[in-house]
Amino acid sequence: MSAPVPSIYIAGPMTGLPEFNFPAFHEAAKAWRAAGWNVLNPAEHFGGRTDLPKRRYLAKAFRTVCEADAIALLPGWGNSPGALAERAMALALGLPCHRAGNVTPPPNSEIRPENSGLGGCPPHGPSGFWADFRSTNSPVQGEHGETVLDEAKALIYGDRNEAYGHPADDYARTAGLWSALLGSKLREPISPGEAILCMICVKLSREAHRPKRDNRVDLAGYAGCLQRVADREAGRE
């Protein structure tokens, strides 16, 4: 008896995008099917209807992620609350996470990208849908196929933002505590931006002592937080 074909779930942004981003979902689904996967495509749920209550789509999506063997993330997933939740569930289940443009055959498959009709998708590959994945083969990718910048962005606009609040508020609290602790040693209270710069120094020190990916993700994240503080001060957030 042959082994069942592994399933992969396509996750990505829909709300607010033209045609609910369905063309991107369908193109990714076509590519992963050609590579030998059983594709679970939420754009095909409910016959493609888009007028149902959001809770029905999310409930269906979460059930489907639980049935998958892996998940593929479309561009913009880090800005989508639904896709972030799907990814979090996939990680909790221990599922491999791929970037949707980094099409690979299922584990132990005899199918190879060059024989799958995909054209291999080279590092500086084709334009159009796949253009967002030109950095797919970057050596800075993590175990789930993300670059350091992808991971940092998802944290500062997703998990960390939800847990700690806007960086301007989070680091205002941190700066206030540091200012109180240092007291008379300071000429002026520490600002949120200065607190972030101090955290960057901490990470630089740790990276110099023992280089590792987490340090670089945090460095990118702190840089992003610094920009968000500047944006808040300029009235852009």
Q: Is the distance from CB of 107 to CB of 26 less than 8 angstroms?
A: no
Report the C-alpha gap between 178 and 174 in whole angstroms: 6
Burial of 63 (0-12, 13-18, 19+ CB in 10 A): exposed
pLDDT at residue number 80:
87
Could you report the per-residue pLDDT of 101-159, keeping only the tens digit for each?
Answer: 889 898 866 544 433 333 333 332 333 333 333 333 333 344 445 677 777 787 787 76
Class of 7-138 per CATH? alpha beta
> What does the pLDDT look like over 49-77, one tens digit per residue?
999 988 899 899 999 999 999 999 998 88
pLDDT reported for residue 146? 63
Residue ranges of domains in the chain: 7-138, 154-233
Residue 177 or 68, more confident: 68
pTM for the model: 0.52
3-state secondary structure of 141: coil
- Burial class of 212 by CB neighbour count within 10 A (0 to 12, 13 to 18, 19+): exposed
